Structure 1
Amino acid sequence: MGSSDLKRDIALYAALPLQGRMNLDDLVSREISRDRIDEGCESLKAGNTARVVITDLS
């Protein structure tokens, strides 16, 4: 019920994708650049997107 051991759990969660046991790509609905943040927020508000990830910070 919300308890975790950060030293153990964060390391475990970071290792899962590297081991091929968790596919992070399926969790991302859309990738955007930093200059399109407003558009990404609107997409989330409208319910068109579940998760937006900023991949280009330039």
Structure 2
Amino acid sequence: MIGSQKRIQSVYMGSTTPKRDIPLYADLYLQGRFNLDELMSKEISVDDVNAGYEALKDPGATRVVITSGLS
């Protein structure tokens, strides 16, 4: 690594700039060019948080997302 002048560098939050990137991601999603729905395995409401944690024990569950308030 020293001879080729390479280095190991850490990143924080994927080295994103939230003020710039989150509106970009939201716009791409609304245009149908960034499909976030496929990354979500289950939608829950706030009052189902405990069940959401239980769902994460399933190896097939990738992401449980809170999409609504109290039901």
Measure, in 1, the Cα distance between the counterparts of 2:55 and 2:62: 9
Describe the SS at the equivalent of 1:16: helix
Q: TM-score, normalised by structure 2?
A: 0.62
Task: Tell me the CA shift for residue 57 of structure 1.
Answer: 0.9
Alignment root-mean-square deviation, CA? 1.9
* Structure with the higher fraction of residues in helix conformation: 1
State whether structure 2 residue 28 is matched by structure 1 residue 16: yes
Larger relative contact order, structure 1 or 2 (CA cutoff 8 Å, min sep 6)? 1
Q: Which runs of 4+ in 1 moved over 4 A?
A: none
Q: 1:15 to 1:42 in 2, by over 3 A?
A: same
State whether structure 2 residue 64 is matched by structure 1 residue 45: no
Task: Give 1:36's aligned residue.
Answer: 48
Could you tell me the percent identity over the aligned residues?
Answer: 55
Unaligned runs of 5+ in 2: 1-10
Unaligned runs of 5+ in 1: none
Q: TM-score, normalised by structure 1?
A: 0.71
Structure index of larger Rg:
2
